[in-house]
Amino acid sequence: MTNTGRVAVVTGGSGGIGRACVERLAADGFSVLIHFAGAKDRAEETASALTRAGVPAVAVGGDVADEAAMTAVFDIADRELGGVDVVVHTAGIMPLAPIAQMDLDTFDHIQRTNVRGTFVVDQLAAQRVRKGGSIINFSTSVTRLHIPTYGAYAASKGAVEALTLILARELRGRDITVNAVAPGPTATPLFFKGKSQEAVDQIANANPMQRLGTPDDIAETVSFLAGPARWVNGQVLHTNGAMA
C-alpha cells in the first residue's frame, strides 16, 4: 500500500459496509480514521491491522448525532492524521415495523441517528474537508423499492438524499464533491438478522444479477467517488445490480 497523504474519515467503519470501505480506501492509499458507535473492539482491531500493514489509522468512538462528539472525531483526524480529504458517512440504524405499529420513540431514534447524524457529520465535513475532497453519504435503494416495514428508515434516507443534493450546490467553488451511495440488499450481518434462508434466497434471486450485493461491491463505488470521479457531483448512485 502506497500512502498518498490523503485522509479519509469513515463513520460506522467497524463492520459490514463501513469496514469494507475502510479497507478499500486504505488500499487506495488513504490514511483512515475509523469511527465507531458501539463496536470498539472491531474498530480497534481494524486500525491495528492497518497500522501493522503500514497504513496510518486510528479508531475513534462517538454518537454521530452529537455535535461535540463528532467535532472531537474531526479534531483527532486533523491532529493525528493531518487533515480530512474524504468523509464516508455509512453510520445509521434500521429498526423495522409497519407504519401503523411503529413506536414513536423508535421513529424518533431513527431520525435522530440517520437524519440529524448526517446533518452533523455533513456540517463538519463542509467546514473541514480540503480542496479536491469528497463527502459521501449513504442512502438506500429502499427509497425506490417501497418495501413494507421500511417506512421510517426510508423516510430518513429520503432526507439524507435531500441534504446531499443541496450541500453539493452549497459548496460551489470549493472543488468538493458531495454524493450519496444507495445500496440494494447487501450481504452484511445487519441484512441477515431475522431473515430465514428462504427469504434471503428469494431476495437474491429477485435481482437480475441473481445474488446479493457484497460490502466490497459498495466499497468499489465509494472508492470511485473518493478518487477519480471528480465530475460526479450532487448525485445518488443506486449500487444494487439493477434491483431498482
Q: Which residues are marked as active site?
A: 153
> How far apart (Å, rounded) are the C-alpha atoms in residues 120 and 66?
7
Dig out the grid coordinates for 120 from the structure: 452533523
CA dihedral 8, 10, 15, 17 (to 10 degrees): -90
Contact between 42 and 14 under an 8 Å Cβ cutoff? The reply is yes
| CA 182, chain centre distance (Å) | 10
Residue 92: closest CA among 10, 29, 24, 32: 10
Q: SS3 for 115? A: helix
Residue 178: closest CA among 221, 130, 236, 127: 236
H or E element in which residue 48 lies:
helix 40-52
